Structure 1
Amino acid sequence: MSLNSTLDNFCGSQFWDSNLTWYTEDPTFTPCFEKTVLVWAPCLFLWLASVFEAYYILNSKEGVIPWNVLNITKLSLTSLLIVLTFVDLGVTVHKTSEEQPVYDVDYYSPIVKILTFALSATILHYNRKHGMRASGVLFFFWLLATLAALPQLRSEILLHNGKEEDENIRYNFISYMIYFPLVVLMFVLNCFADLPASPTKFDNLRMCPENAAGFPSRLTFSWFDPLAITGFRKSLVESDLWALNPQDSSSEIVPKFEKFWQRTLRKRETSNNPKATFTRTTATVDLKPETERKPASILPALCLAFGGQFVFGSILKLANDILLFLSPQLLNLLIGFVKTKQPIWKGYFYAVLLLGCATVQTMLLAHYFTRMYLVGMRIRTALTSAIYRKSLRMSNSARKESTVGEIVNLMSVDAQRFVELTAYLNMIWSAPLQITLALYFLWGVLGPSVLAGLAVMIILIPFNALIANRVKTLQIRQMKYKDERVKLMNEVLNGIKVLKMYAWEPSFEEQVLKIRNKEMKVLKQTAYLNSATSFIWACAPFLVTFLTFFTYVVSDPTHLLTPEKMFVSISLFFTMHLPLGLLPLVVVSVIEVDDY
């Protein structure tokens, strides 16, 4: 069956011409585009995004939100929409019984909307049951449903004004005039947060207003405005600050991490590495020292405890990366509009799309970094608690190997590195993705000349690998010197009375400075290597751009650098600048954290 015949059966032949362009010879029907794409796109979004909503519902520890005017109104309006859609489906069945022209889309669209509205009511019910006061999924669903309903609203008004005597048009108009205000009202109601849940142990604290803010306020961070205004008027003191959100407190984070960490330890105990071996020839049992057994990795416990939040942040980063390459394409269309004579509305449309794309990118990136720093803070809290708990359980032999200073270093300095790394960890996959997409679009603009710029990046990769390997070696050496210095300083402080009595301060000072000088020498070498890496990758975008344009112009006399090609290419080269600079730094940071 051809595509044309399939569309005829689904939407009606009067909507499509031989070039698959829809039109309306029969004004009693709405265009197929409005009945399928514009109706089903918000529904598809809700069904896909409900997976994330289910995750947050299952992980919510809030109490039940009492019934109030807001959630009752939402549930009632959703029920009215379901009833109205059932009536539309019944009218379609009635038309079929009277042998009036009815197409598949007239059956499928009401069924899809009924199922989707039922899913919306289910999410609303469980949000109330689990204390979720604002739902981003429902907010975006009703926003998309409102925007998707606008074209059909225009069509219904035009059809109603064109043929008022037609009963089908009159029913469609009345039905849609009821449907559209209900959808808009549902969108408005989802802009507000529900009432707080039943009393909890955190009610006596000065809670952060983020939980009480509606989703638009969370989206734009406007809930933070009061604290920013207070900080502008006077210096902030401790009483001005809010308490931590319950999910960010150690009382919630530590038990969650400890559950998965204990599971990891149990798997290690039951692994195939026996604590003792039996020799039949001598009939002896050899106990295997604890140091020879494979140590348990903390990574699985961290992934299980905080991986969900990290994955959601990674999805935000992926969406931002995709939109990052939409701007050059819109810029290409806008330059093409200026060069040619096109309807003026296209220019406004491209300009608005450019603004909207930049705005959405900014919001996605802001929420990505906020979420990643929260994940890093939770990892630091869990690690600090685990290190402190381990220090209280250390045996006497272990205490001889680790000093108090080393343990404090682990809790204060080393754990902080996870906070600094978490926000940029996604660059390990995001940077190659951005570079690959940029080269792909550049190939479409400049052709094989892009290979000259690609060759520069490939040549720089071995240099970056050598420098990263050298930095890793220096990092291990620095850790060794730092541990020696901290251990010696701890001995000096413990025996300070003896040092004063025998006047040994100069000799011990010389020992400390000797180790410190070695450490400073390693730090200086590391700084030189990091500077070399930064210099190389700062020059890389310029070299790539220059060689690509030079090769493009020289390779063929007919190649001209038109404004369209230059601006789009420079935009794509600028897109590559950040991943090219961050990727080596992230790799070095991962190596440093791995050493710790």
Structure 2
Amino acid sequence: YQFFITYDKNIPILEAVFNCLELFLTIIAFIISCLTTRYSEFEVLGTECEAKCPMNDFNIFSKIFIFWMKTILKQGYKSTADLAQYLLPICDYMKSLHAFNAFESANRKYNSNKLKPKTEITLFPLLVWTAWTPYLFGSLMELIHVCVDLSQPFILSKLIDFVSDTEHLWHGLCYAVAYSLINLISQLLECHSNLFINMAYYRTSSALISALYQKMLRLSQLGPSSLTLLAVMLIVGPFTTFVMTRIDTLQTKQMQLKDKRMEQISEVLSNIKLLKLFGWEKPFIDRISETRRQELHTLKLKNYFWSCIDVLWIVVPFIIAGITFTIFIYTSGQPFTAKTAFVSLSVYISLKAPMGS
């Protein structure tokens, strides 16, 4: 490339052109390789297409600029329908099973020799091992984000000096481009820092909750009578599913009626002169009122179903506790102590939120 810099005639022109063409094509090939994905864009007819994980299967530009959100944003802008079908699946790394397996492997590594009585089990290294990768990346990005933010006042001062002084135009253009790029990089770093920190939080939370539930199930105070919880859940679960399905259906119907009412109001406002001229106010008002009445009726039914769900999950823990305690008293032959009652009640109340969701 020395030919184009020094215009050295000893270098063959054809060789210089080919070298520059090779560099140009290499850069294009690199950009195209960054745009590729790890999966095929084609689908086999007759087979169900698997959803792709944004953290593993999308290209690097989609990961950096979060382009994998465009489908959800586009569908949310176009319609107010349920967006659950457009949500991407949870990556394997973020699943509760993966986090708990990492927690268990760390527990076997750090606490394998601490099974003697009166020996403390160390929890902090287990949590660090479970989510150290997202914590590390999130912390590094937050550090870089702070450094980039501190450079913004320096570029801004240079830009103000350029406006007041008589410098070359390209200096001001460079300052403006640098300031814009710093703002863009700062926002991207902050976004990815929050993403990785939230990933670490959810992995840690999933591992701790799984470990606590496993410990509670092993240290049951009621023995086989605690299986009453499973029996009640088999009865309550289908009912809850039916009610939630009805709530989703009513929510969709309510949004459709709301859109219909807004279209009718827009139609009336855009043709208000004709309505006043021919005296058509009453029919159009009746039509809008009827749509509003249907919308309120749907909203009322939805609130009734939500009330049923709320009352159900307030009462269910006490019903389970009453049935379980009764079976325990008549079948176990053991004394029913205050410790057994209060520990079991606290476990049932703590399980209320996970069972409800």
TM-score, normalising length: structure 1: 0.34
| 1:325 counterpart SS class | helix
For structure 1, the 5+ residue unaligned runs are 1-28, 31-155, 197-202, 276-292, 398-403, 405-489, 497-596
User: What amino acid maps onto 2:66 in structure 1?
Assistant: F
Q: How does 1:252-267 map to 2 (within 5 A)?
A: 252-267=98-113
CA spacing shift, 1:358–1:238, aligned 2, 3 Å = closer
Residue 192 in structure 1 maps to residue 36 in structure 2: yes
Count of residues paired in the alignment: 224
- CA deviation map 1:221-262 (0-9, x unaligned): 111111222233123254443321122112322212111123
Residue 379 in structure 1 maps to residue 225 in structure 2: no
Q: Is the 8 A contact 1:209 1:223 kept in 2?
A: yes
Residue 251 in structure 1 maps to residue 76 in structure 2: no
**1:333 counterpart residue number:** 158
Residue among 347, 350, 355 paired with 2:172: 347
Distance 2:318 2:24 in 1: 77
| 1:268 counterpart SS class | coil
Distance 2:27 2:52 in 1: 33
**2:313 counterpart residue number:** none
Q: Is the 8 A contact 2:75 2:83 kept in 1?
A: no
Distance 1:301 1:209 in 2: 27
Q: Is the 8 A contact 1:205 1:243 kept in 2?
A: no
Task: Kindly state the Cα deviation for residue 320 of structure 1 after the two structures are TM-superposed.
Answer: 0.7
CA spacing shift, 1:394–1:264, aligned 2, 3 Å = farther
- CA deviation map 1:276-318 (0-9, x unaligned): xxxxxxxxxxxxxxxxx24313210111121122111111111
Residue 216 in structure 1 maps to residue 61 in structure 2: yes
User: What amino acid maps onto 2:167 in structure 1?
Assistant: Q
**2:25 counterpart residue number:** 181
- CA deviation map 1:401-435 (0-9, x unaligned): xxx9xxxxxxxxxxxxxxxxxxxxxxxxxxxxxxx
Task: Kindly state the Cα deviation for residue 170 of structure 1 after the two structures are TM-superposed.
Answer: 5.9
Distance 1:182 1:347 in 2: 32
Task: Kindly state the Cα deviation for residue 190 of structure 1 after the two structures are TM-superposed.
Answer: 1.8
| 2:82 counterpart SS class | coil
CA spacing shift, 1:242–1:267, aligned 2, 3 Å = same
Residue among 217, 228, 234 paired with 1:392: 217
Distance 2:161 2:179 in 1: 14
Runs (4 or more) in structure 1 with deviation over 6 Å come to: 490-493
For structure 2, the 5+ residue unaligned runs are 41-47, 223-228, 230-316, 324-357
**1:118 counterpart residue number:** none
CA spacing shift, 1:242–1:335, aligned 2, 3 Å = closer
| 1:166 counterpart SS class | coil
Q: Is the 8 A contact 2:152 2:182 kept in 1?
A: yes
**1:581 counterpart residue number:** none
User: What amino acid maps onto 1:264 in structure 2?
Assistant: Y
Q: How does 1:227-238 map to 2 (within 5 A)?
A: 227-232=72-77, 233-236=79-82, 238=84
User: Identity across aligned pairs (percent)?
Assistant: 19
- CA deviation map 1:457-482 (0-9, x unaligned): xxxxxxxxxxxxxxxxxxxxxxxxxx
User: What amino acid maps onto 2:21 in structure 1?
Assistant: M
CA spacing shift, 1:205–1:192, aligned 2, 3 Å = closer
Q: Is the 8 A contact 2:102 2:130 kept in 1?
A: yes
Distance 1:204 1:168 in 2: 54
Residue 322 in structure 1 maps to residue 133 in structure 2: no
- CA deviation map 1:136-191 (0-9, x unaligned): xxxxxxxxxxxxxxxxxxxx5354xx45x323676445323323322332223222
User: What amino acid maps onto 1:213 in structure 2?
Assistant: F
**2:280 counterpart residue number:** none
Q: How does 1:165-176 map to 2 (within 5 A)?
A: 165-167=9-11, 171-176=15-20
Distance 2:140 2:189 in 1: 10
Q: Is the 8 A contact 1:246 1:252 kept in 2?
A: yes
CA spacing shift, 1:247–1:204, aligned 2, 3 Å = farther
Higher relative contact order, structure no. (Cα contacts within 8 Å, ≥ 6 residues apart): 2
CA spacing shift, 1:204–1:266, aligned 2, 3 Å = farther
TM-score, normalising length: structure 2: 0.55
Aligned-residue Cα RMSD (Å) equals: 3.2
Task: Kindly state the Cα deviation for residue 350 of structure 1 after the two structures are TM-superposed.
Answer: 0.2
CA spacing shift, 1:192–1:302, aligned 2, 3 Å = same
CA spacing shift, 1:222–1:492, aligned 2, 3 Å = closer
CA spacing shift, 1:237–1:333, aligned 2, 3 Å = closer
CA spacing shift, 1:209–1:335, aligned 2, 3 Å = closer
Distance 1:316 1:171 in 2: 44
Q: Is the 8 A contact 1:207 1:244 kept in 2?
A: no
